[in-house]
Amino acid sequence: MPSGWRRLHWTAVADTASTASRWLNDTEMRAWRAYVETQADLNAAIEADLRPTGLSLGDYQVLVFLSEAPDRRMRMCDLADDLQLSPSGLTRRLDGIVRRGWVERIGSDDDRRVMLAALTADGLAMLEAAAPTHVDSVRRRLVDLLDDDELVALGRIFDKVRAGLDAG
């Protein structure tokens, strides 16, 4: 789509909406659109690069969270929160990796009502095997495209966005 069409479209939307809204200026719109139009493609590219390892990006993320947890175990509700999934969404996400033997569901010794997700030795081995592919993808598709100042700025930007989301 030509950039003029985008501007015209957004101007038309702004003209028909409530005047109480504080509309984005050109710089703000460019930043927002660059983010929106890139983030899904970046995730899809990293996902595609990871696919030959046998893991989806979501599976990889589960294994990473569990590998970093004490005793490589997490309460299911905490894992769901960290992954931004509903309890049923986490169940669906775990089903495949449990079948593969990379994670197991176990009851808590401290509270019978609590279920834990635990990383197995096979799961850790899978993560260790897939990690170089994932890191190479992240490096090629993001990190190596930016200089050190841009990486520092990107980290600051998303730290600030995360703080704003957490405060809200």
In this predicted structure, the answer to whether residue 58 has a pLDDT above a threshold of 60 is yes
In this predicted structure, the answer to whether residue 8 has a pLDDT above a threshold of 70 is no
- Write the pLDDT tens digit of every residue in 34-48: 999 999 999 999 999
Taken in order of first residue, the domains within the chain and their CATH numbers are 56-128 (1.10.10.10)
pTM score, whole prediction: 0.81
The confidence score (pLDDT) of residue 18 equals 53
Q: Which of 17-31, 48-62, 120-134 has the lowest mean pLDDT?
A: 17-31
The confidence score (pLDDT) of residue 17 equals 54
User: Among residues 120, 115, 117, which one has the least CA distance to residue 101?
Assistant: 120
More confident residue, 160 or 4: 160
The confidence score (pLDDT) of residue 117 equals 96
